Chain A
Amino acid sequence: MNRFTTRTSRQTRPATVRIGAAVLATATAATLAACGGNGGGGGGGSQSADGTLTIAFDADAAPTGYDPLLYSQRQFEFFASLYDSLFVTQPDGSVEPSLVTEFSNNPENTQTTLILREGVTFTDGSPLDAEVVKANLDRRSDPDLEAYGSLAPGQASEITDVTVQDPRTVVITWAQPQATPEQNLADTTGVIVGPTGVADPSSLETTPDGSGAYVLDEDATTRASTYTVVKNDDAWAADEWVWDTIEYDVITDPQSLANAVVSGQADIATQLDPTTIDLVQSRQSTVDVGGTIVGFPVIDKLGSSNPAFGSEQVRQALLFATDRESLVSDLHDGSRPTSQFFPEDAPGFDPALDEEFAYDPDRARELLTEAGYPDGIDVDLTVLGQPDEDAVAVQSQWAEVGIRLNFVTATSTDQVFAAVRTDPVIFGPFSVGSNPAGFVAGVLYGGFMNMQQAQEPDIQSALGAALGATGDAQQQALTDLNRAITEHGWFIPVYEDVTYAGYNADSVSEPAFAGTNNYLVLSAVQPAS
């Protein structure tokens, strides 16, 4: 029966079936053929040919809307196209005026006078003037505005007063001397939102109100997936950006992010996961920058919840018990083991610290014994979900000297936030960037890493000197500050993370990071020559 059926089917297969199969095969082949033809460039080919720059981000560019002040400095990568800032960090790390044409500081560096640019107009049609700048900076007490973290009351770069001298002149008064005041007003922190957005911040959830070279193309934007901005030819800085359109694609999967730039769907992909660097470098190009220090800020320096941490020797024991070389070699090829809080390219970096506080488990045991803990100590670390693989690696290293790192699983994000007040240490990456003194002032000494408001004279005096001095004196003060942080065990560094961005050299010029910050200066990106 089967044999009969089989033979007959071969002889009498209807033409329609054969034609259908042929059409399907032809259509598939034709489609594939139509997609090919540009080598490794992928189906989409270079996006820059029609004046569009396509950038793939590893995270949502605007997860809570278009108020740039809600975000950290890194978001300036996206918001720089929609908004202008008072000052902008350049690829060489210098800070240049943007919405400001001139500025001056008083001799004590406690007052900064800004002369604003003329001819700047916001999306809502209003012109830039001193009142708008004041209205923006007067939002600095709002705790939701992450960009103003260092300018808020009580912080190291606190602004005590913003005065409108005339429509083009604003005078900013600082609570204490600032080494480089303009650096405090650069990028996201210095972004100026239009009057409509300032008056009604909730409007920024859906509608940007900036003076940038681009405006949001809402029809071509799908929140959390793709943001498209188109050139606003009337903008004062329109000529500084060469692209007609910029498309920001959100690709959270690390492999897909790398694939996007390798196959040519994105001109630039940032930030690349370390596991994909080799792939991208084998087919396209990469740029990198350090500046992010991964480690354990010591929270309980007074020993309130864990008395052992009140001892400087115990905190130093953690430094000596951490085998950074092994961890980097096993888990973070390309990163740099470090025993200090300041990045390699930042002022104040001291290579001697890496030698002095290198891995030495015997020294760690000695310090624990001297501190009165010969049997070791217990350290709780609250984590949400699974602990980070770095923390797990450190757990086994510390265990060798008797430091028992216990992961406490949080059941809510509230519990994680609360742990900043109760755990002896926390763990994570910290973007210290090119202004480490500012970061120390705003975060490590005057911010959430020191909720207990612990005092350490060496750190305090070095920080004061670093913020108030210039030139060689500032350099020395920063070196002293860096050393004081390490020696007193206020931060247990593990490695300096290197941020990578991939780019298609056939379509765009080599992008550059903003100094040692981990975000790119996209206005400097040009089509490949």
Chain B
Amino acid sequence: MAAVPAAATGPLLDTPDTRTQMLAYVARRLALAVGTLLAAVLITFLLVHASDSSPGAVRLGPGATAEAVAAENEALGWNRPLYAQFLDYVGALFRGDLGTSLIDGRDIAADLADRLPVTASIAFLATLLSGVVGVLLGVTAAVRGGRLGKGITTGSGVALSLPAFWVGILLVYLISLQLGWLPATGYVDFSADPAAWLQSLLLPVLTLTVGGAAIVARTANAGMREALAQEHVRTLRAMGTPPWRIRYVHALRYASVPVVSTLGIQFIALFGGSVIIENLFALPGLGQASQAAATASDFPALVGVVVVATAVVVVINLLLDLLVAALDPKVRAA
């Protein structure tokens, strides 16, 4: 009788060894997360300082004299040693202070706090829907096979090749302009009206789900096929385990590791690539903020967006790693 892999047998075993392994793993990942965040801040900080403009020039505008720009830079501390500026910035960062905009003096942390839920909502809902639809399609393709399986595989290939903005335009035309079912633009805050919030996000989420679900479907399909071909699955069949239990408990659990990894990467990609979708649907998210900051050379705002986006990515990566480690003991032992 073949050994059944741990990933397919059940939840974490609550043994002292397992707990130690997990704690050590969490500590390593946390340290890496903090290091990644600091590295991202440092790189962005250095890139901003390497540009041929300066905050004084941005703040005073194109009509300012060189003397006025120099005085403004001095007042803003731009001429201080780089390490001192960086340490100050990191210190302020730990206090939740991202500074103020050079263009309009707004508090950047407050502005990004308003915008983060928009982008996060889109990315989260699109990832969730991609996961549900993708797993359903992928598992169906693997389990049913035949023409349906080929159809799903071909369809997901086509869906993967469609640019998100094109899908968005098409959905807006059909669902909003022709049928009038959903708003074409705008965002409603969840606290103001949860139903309107969902309505305002559905089209962007559906737009992103087309490609996202296709990726997940392909991953789930491949994972399920591999799982169903494993020796332990054959053993389970020989032991008389019901087929639905073999597929949806044992094989699906085996296939879930790559699916979860894909979903995590998907979330990060959706989060980082929100500019086009936010512009298309006029959503006040981080993508719009980063575009506005880059266009206006608003350095503090630009660094703020990078910090927030990196922090979200690092946290998601961390959670993803922990989830995968929980699902697969080989990972946490590595």
Contact = CB atoms under 8 A, between A and B. Distances in A.
Interface of A: 2, 5-6, 8-9, 12-14, 17, 21, 24, 31-32, 34-36, 38-44, 56, 60, 62-65, 143-144, 202, 205-206, 222-226, 249-253, 255-256, 259-260, 262-266, 279, 283, 412-414, 417
A6 B186 contact: no
A144 B63 contact: yes
B281 A223 contact: no
Interface in B159-205: 169, 172, 176-177, 179-188, 195-196, 198-200, 202
B204 to A, nearest CB: 11
B243 A44 contact: no
A12 B185 contact: no
Contact of A6 (B132, B144, B176): B144
B231 interface: no
A263 B185 contact: yes
A43 B62 contact: no
B279 A253 contact: yes
A414 B281 contact: no
B83 interface: no
Contacts of A21: 136
A64 B103 contact: yes
A417 B196 CA distance: 46
B114 interface: yes
A8 B176 contact: no
Contacts of B62: 413-414, 417
B244 A13 contact: yes
Interface of B: 52-53, 61-63, 103-106, 111, 114-115, 132, 136, 143-146, 169, 172, 176-177, 179-188, 195-196, 198-200, 202, 228, 242-244, 247-248, 279-284, 288-289, 292, 296
A9 B199 contact: no
Given A14-B244, A413-B62, A205 B180 contact: no
A206 B182 contact: no
10 contacts: A8-B243, A17-B248, A43-B196, A56-B185, A63-B296, A223-B104, A225-B284, A263-B172, A264-B180, A264-B183
Contacts of B284: 222, 224-226
A32 B182 contact: yes
B105 A205 contact: yes
A31 B242 contact: no
B195 A34 contact: yes
Give the top 3 A-B pairs by smallest Cβ distance, nearest first: A225-B284, A205-B105, A43-B183
B248 A44 contact: no
A35 B202 contact: yes
B299 to A, nearest CB: 15
A39 B279 CA distance: 25
Given A249-B185, A260-B185, A44 B288 contact: no
Given A24-B132, A256-B281, A12 B103 contact: no
A224 B289 contact: yes
Nearest to A33: B181
B144 A256 contact: no
Contacts of A144: 61, 63
Nearest to A60: B292
